[in-house]
Amino acid sequence: MTAPIELYYWPTPNGWKISIALEEMGLPYELKPVNIGTGEQFRPEFLAISPNNRMPAIIDPGGPDGEPVSVFESGAILQYLARKTGRFYGDTPREQIEVEQWLFWQMGGLGPMAGQAHHFRSYAPKIEPDLTKLEYGKTRYTNEVNRLYGVMDRRLAGRDYLAGPYSIADMAAWPWILPEGQGQSLDDFANLKAWHARVGERPAVQAGRAAGKQMRVALADDSEDMKKARDILFGQRARP
């Protein structure tokens, strides 16, 4: 029996993409915590798997030709898992084009912009006391997330999922719809709101979203541990 896939993970939107996919595809997996608040992503053994020092990453003992393989970057992992199982990637070349368009849209747009909006709205005010210095970034990224929500809302008019049948494109986008932290209201986007509820009702999505929830420990904003975590997360520079 093939050993489970090792998922190097922390419970964040990018991590949830992969735990959701593994649950949807019925692939056995083992969580390997990478505490990004304490700098575990910079350990040499993790760097060997993920050269960008970012989770998630996987090691699949049953990779191509039966040999182990490691994969980093959440979009690449989703594509790998979909090809491995033959599921959630479309059944024809035309359907696969649709999936890939919306997968890369999430990777290049929704994820980075939503992450920046959340940073300037939630984290940056705890680092920079002069809030006037943050206003441009906060406004710029909040507005861009609003635009991207609108793109999704128009796309979902008259359809249930982003790229035809339910796919890895939906798995990639769903975890990033966190409207409160991004300064949005789903009430302004009826189609997106319905899609978000529809995907969120799937048992595998619920299981993947809950994976490793015990890993997070609530820390007071002014605690030394939280200050150290913010410095690790947002003070990173090039390392040898």
Maximum CA extent, the chain: 58
Task: State the pLDDT at residue 240.
Answer: 45
Task: State the pLDDT at residue 37.
Answer: 85
Report how far residue 126's alpha carbon sits from residue 234's, in angstroms, rounded to the nearest whole number.
12
- Please list the residues that pair with 60 across neighbouring strands: 69
Q: What is the pLDDT of residues 208-222, one digit of tens each?
A: 999 998 887 654 455
pLDDT, greater one: 36 or 189: 189
For residues 122-133, give the mean pLDDT. Answer: 86
Task: State the pLDDT at residue 219.
Answer: 47
Task: State the pLDDT at residue 222.
Answer: 59
For residues 59-71, give the mean pLDDT. Answer: 95
Report how far residue 223's alpha carbon sits from residue 74's, in angstroms, rounded to the nearest whole number.
31
Task: State the pLDDT at residue 236.
Answer: 53
Q: What is the pLDDT of residues 5-48, one digit of tens each?
A: 999 999 999 999 999 999 999 999 999 999 998 889 999 999 99
Report how far residue 75's alpha carbon sits from residue 103's, in angstroms, rounded to the nearest whole number.
7
Bond from prior residue into 165 cis (ω within 30 degrees of 0)? no
Specify the fold of 5-87+213-234. Glutaredoxin (3.40.30)
Task: State the pLDDT at residue 221.
Answer: 56
Identify the band that residue 123 occupies on the pLDDT scale cut at 50, 70 and 90.
Answer: confident
CATH 1.20.1050.10 for the 93-201 domain, yes or no: yes
Q: What is the pLDDT of residues 76-118, one digit of tens each?
A: 999 999 999 999 999 999 999 999 999 999 999 999 999 999 9
Task: State the pLDDT at residue 217.
Answer: 63
Task: State the pLDDT at residue 215.
Answer: 83
Domain boundaries, the chain: 5-87+213-234, 93-201
Task: State the pLDDT at residue 197.
Answer: 98
Number of residues written out for the chain = 240
pLDDT, the chain, mean: 91
Identify the band that residue 237 occupies on the pLDDT scale cut at 50, 70 and 90.
Answer: low
Q: Is the per-residue pLDDT at 231 higher than 70?
A: no
Task: Confirm whether 5-87+213-234 and 93-201 share one CATH topology.
Answer: no
